[in-house]
Amino acid sequence: MSKSKAYYRLQQLDSDIDAKTARVAQIEVLIGQRETVDAMQAESEAAQHALNEAQSRQRDQEWELDQVKRKLNQVEQTMYSGSVRNPKELEDLRRDSEHLRNRRGELQDRVLEAMMNAEELGEHAGARRTEWQNAEQAWADEQQALQTERQGLQEALAALQVERAAQAGRLDAAGLAKYNSLRGKKGGVAVVLLQGTVCSGCRISLPSGEVQKVRADAVVSLCPHCGRILAYGGPAR
Ligand SMILES: [Zn+2]
């Protein structure tokens, strides 16, 4: 392996390590992150609570309607039993009966309204619950996939570190120091390929003398524009 290729190989390993390390960091953030599912759970629980309240109101109104019907029944039985003969008392009973009939009508309307309302809220709560449960399942699957991906990345990184150490061992200390300092200054990319006459790091074309130097690969060449180490992309001459 030529010297520039040895640097280039080290760069490839470091770039791979950087990318995988960044992905692991991203996964660490995503693991345990369940704001969306939590929001859906809260929505589902709120919808269920609203349904429970509506059903409770419906039961109260049904109970009240039942009471009114019983009372009306009693009043009308007394009215038609013939046991009350006093006109004043009969008139009171008639008024009570009329009042209770009105009240019964009102309550029947309310019970019907409450039933329809509860039915609508029931559908809403059911839909929210299904959405939440689906999201919960999708979340669990995603978390499992992230754990698996992280495991794979960590194994790959361990192997890459071994390979990287071996590759770094093939380079001299001064060159490595230069490489490391360039990596720090150039966004992690110290070594780039010369593609034709163009530096793939800064996309600027090199004078033919410089191109020849890179191709000859006798010494490590730096791009005169961006300062990165240049490796010849094609077969060395
Ligand atoms: Zn350059």
237 secondary structure, DSSP code: -
- What is residue 229's predicted lDDT score, i.e. its pLDDT? 95
pLDDT at 151 over 70: yes
User: What span, in angstroms and rounded, lies between the C-alpha atoms of 104 and 58?
Assistant: 15
- What is residue 55's predicted lDDT score, i.e. its pLDDT? 97
Helices then strands, counting H and E runs in the chain, come out as: 5, 4
Rounded CA Rg of the chain: 41
pLDDT tens sequence across 86-98: 999 999 999 999 9
Together in a domain, 223 and 133:
no
Averaged pLDDT score across all residues of the chain: 95
User: What span, in angstroms and rounded, lies between the C-alpha atoms of 2 and 236?
Assistant: 9
- pTM given for the model: 0.76
Q: Could you give the number of structural domains in the chain?
A: 2
Nearest-CA neighbor of 221 among 7, 12, 1? Answer: 7
Together in a domain, 54 and 112:
yes
Do 229 and 190 contact (CB within 8 A), yes or no? yes
Distance 223 CA to ligand 1 centre (A): 5
Distance 202 CA to ligand 1 centre (A): 4
Distance 22 CA to ligand 1 centre (A): 25
Task: Give the model's confidence band at 162: pLDDT under 50 very low, under 70 low, under 90 confident, else very high.
Answer: very high
- What is residue 118's predicted lDDT score, i.e. its pLDDT? 97
pLDDT at 166 over 80: yes
Buried b (16+ CB within 10 A) or exposed e, 195-233: eeebbbbeeeebeeebbebbbebeebbbbeebebbbbbe
What is the domain range of residue 52? 31-152
- What is residue 236's predicted lDDT score, i.e. its pLDDT? 42
Asked which of 117, 152, 187 is the last residue of a domain, the reply is: 152
Asked which of 107, 124, 152 is the last residue of a domain, the reply is: 152
pLDDT tens sequence across 41-74: 999 999 999 999 999 999 999 999 999 999 999 9
- Give the residues across from 230 on adjacent strands: 192, 221
Ion ligand 1 neighbours (CB, 5 A) are 199, 201-202, 223, 225-226
Distance 226 CA to ligand 1 centre (A): 4
Distance 190 CA to ligand 1 centre (A): 10
Distance 15 CA to ligand 1 centre (A): 17
